[in-house]
Amino acid sequence: MNRAAPEPKDNMGEPAPRLDGRLKVTGEARYGSDFAVGNPAHAFLVTSTIASGRIDGMDLDEAKAVPGVLEIFTHENTAELKPLKYSPGGGGPTTSIQDFGPDIKHDGQIVAMVVADTYEAAREAANKVRVRYQTKPPSATFGSAGTSEDDASEVSERAKDLPQAGDADAAYAAAEVKFEAEYATPTQHHNAIELFTTTCVWNDDKLTIYEPSQFMYGLKTNAAKNLDIDPANVHAVSPFVGGAFGSKAQFSPRTGLVALAAKRLNRPVKLVMTRDQGFTAQTYRAETRHRIRIGARRDGKIDSFTHEGWELTSRPDAYSVAGVEDSARLYGFGTVKTHVTLVHADRNTPGFMRSPPVVPYIYALENAIDELAVKLDMDPIELRRVNDSTADATGKPWSSRSLMRCYDEAAARFGWSRRQRQPGAMRDGDWLVGWGCASAVYPTHVGAATARVRLLASGKALVQVAAHDIGTGTYTVVGQMAAERLGIPLSAVTVELGDSDLPPAPVAGGSNQTASCCSAVMKACDAINTKLSQPPETVGGRAARDDKLEDKFRRLGVGAIEEYAEYLPPGSKPDAIKNLYAGQPSLGGGASGDKLMYALGAEFIEVRVHARTREIRVPRMVGAFAAGRIMNTRTAHSQYMGGMIWGVSSALHEATEIDPRVARYVNDNFADYLIPVNADIQEVDIILVPERDDFVNPVGVKGIGELANVGTAAAVANAVYHATGIRVRELPIRLEKLLTS
């Protein structure tokens, strides 16, 4: 059973139900592939069956003979698509592997697209496309022959200035207590319920793209570049997104292919990729390795922290999450040394997946902290308290930091004081009970954003911004901001999102959207209020008492006021808005400014491990989170719950298995890719810890989408250790790892 959303209190918004809730539960919400377009042709992809090599030849005769087939697109007839420069920063394509051959750089690379009158005909024909390959032995993952390595700081913009402070080696050598360990996280795929779809319709030289997207202006401008057309002729539509988690943030090569097909055939073309195609033709979370070295005093104070990471990526692309930036700053370490190595293999390019830097890196750190607590015979919360700080090792201060308050509130709710420290001590019949905790942390990002707000004399308002509701509640919180600022009820506000004809919002990534878009909406509303409060009419030398909206409008002689606003965070480049229109968002925050801006939380987990079968259960979790102002306690509660459930998934279930001989994902379907079901999740108790931070942005929002799934896996690992005395340093934790002879 789960507790209801808490009542609003200090710096907490109303628990307003989702504005789009009714549309969603009645099936009225239109997702990318739901739009009815006239007489669509249907596309089906053909993907490579080798991971490295070259296409020698393609035999399309059998496929073309399938009744209803209209055209087959391959590398031989798609050369007019222009390559897009890969940039892992935000607005660019998912990968630099944009050719459909002849060179093959990973298993499951798109090599052809069949278009036919029906989906069935396209699928049948796709299965009859014969491709002859020259095959080279591929490198699959870490440790495979033929991989190559790069120092991430030399090839990735993101990893350029990783934190270093003092002489961590010397401090380690001198430390009273030394701890060193290695950790690993597996390949994972987003597996949103909604598949990757694209529908393209041309009207003369105007292209409409219906596609689930986390970045409307990125989709629009990259499609224009890819097709070599004027972006003014591209209209991207995505009012609802059925899960994204980063996978729909970048421009995908499939989109240009579908647009090109629709143009050639002079007919709308609809593509719905299959689940398995999404594993290889889109992005994923790559596997990581970590080595952590800590030198501490006997009282727990950490004088030396070293975190080295290894991340897998594709042959050509330097995708790096470089989460040492965050792990090195979570506590007040005396000295810090960090390094990230990129390992190139014959794989598709990884990409953003919810909480990209911190999920793997904080998993490693928060395991290590728990291990150090065991070594010091300290309570793990007290160890964190000893290392809590107002600044990082370089002296940069936090804008606000409520980590220990989160621990205290979650610990009290969880009943942590009843914990017996000795592993295996809390046995309940056949079940070994373990209690563990870990920190959650996510950088606060904010970007340049725009919005248009129109207020009518009737008291109704329309808010327009090309932002994205990827399930997070954007419609609702954007509406709440306008309602609050204009002094009207939420029911009087209409919100329009997900359309590139609206004013641009940044990519819905890095949990920046509420902070960025609400700041722009606030500015537009304030401009309306300024107009409305222009010097009032005077009666007999005194200002008329005149606070009714209708009267104000009457006095101004207008029926509506519309304001367009541009929000530019402090320190932004002056051309940030221009760049946003051009599909290049500029997100700042985290450790990049004068202060460290982060949302924080503490997660507590109870596991039960069966003494004989080693079955692992999670009956109870408590999470306390502080993330500045909370716009809506109900949607926030849902985000945090979803995050912790995903964290359990990461801890116990999820892993994409790779066949090392052929560098191929093996479990690319929902039968074999494990995620939790209701029976795996029991009590989830969420505490919203009040926090005020006026530094981060005008609305004081830190962002919550990617916070709660950060600490869970480590908390589960720590709880499993407490239950069994077995430390599992490689995710996922499955029962075979707990079998002892």
The footprint of ligand MOS (CB under 6 A) covers 214, 245-246, 249, 352-354, 356, 509-510, 706
- Please tell me what DSSP assigns to residue 630: B
* 3-state SS, residue 44: strand
Report which residue's Cβ sits closest to ligand MOS: 246
> Is 47 or 327 the residue whose CB approaches ligand MOS more closely?
327
> Is 189 or 354 the residue whose CB approaches ligand MOS more closely?
354
State the nearest-atom distance from the C-beta of 589 to ligand MOS, in Å.
12
How far is 61 from 148, CA to CA, in rounded Å? Answer: 40
Name, in order, each residue with C-beta under 8 angstroms of 114's C-beta and a sequence gap of 6 or more: 43, 44, 46, 63, 69, 71, 72, 73, 122, 123, 125, 126, 129
User: Which residue from 284, 226, 345, 204 is spatially nearest to 656, judged by alpha carbons?
Assistant: 284
How far is 186 from 521, CA to CA, in rounded Å? Answer: 40
> Is 356 or 590 the residue whose CB approaches ligand MOS more closely?
356
How far is 35 from 268, CA to CA, in rounded Å? Answer: 11
> Is 249 or 714 the residue whose CB approaches ligand MOS more closely?
249
Active site residues: 706
State the nearest-atom distance from the C-beta of 12 to ligand MOS, in Å.
24
> Is 355 or 439 the residue whose CB approaches ligand MOS more closely?
355
State the nearest-atom distance from the C-beta of 371 to ligand MOS, in Å.
28
Exposed/middle/buried for 492, CB within 10 Å: 0-12, 13-18, 19+?
middle
Q: Name the pairing type of β-strands 130-135 and 53-59.
A: antiparallel
> Tokens representing 10?
């200090």
Q: What are phi and psi of 640, to 5 degrees?
A: -65, -45
State the nearest-atom distance from the C-beta of 351 to ligand MOS, in Å.
8
614-627 b/e with 16+ CB inside 10 Å = b?
A: bebebebbbbbbbb
User: Which residue from 338, 289, 339, 291 is spatially nearest to 311, judged by alpha carbons?
Assistant: 289
How far is 621 from 643, CA to CA, in rounded Å? Answer: 12
> Is 248 or 664 the residue whose CB approaches ligand MOS more closely?
248
* 3-state SS, residue 294: strand
> Is 246 or 479 the residue whose CB approaches ligand MOS more closely?
246
State the nearest-atom distance from the C-beta of 193 to ligand MOS, in Å.
16
User: Which residue from 363, 278, 286, 366 is spatially nearest to 318, judged by alpha carbons?
Assistant: 286
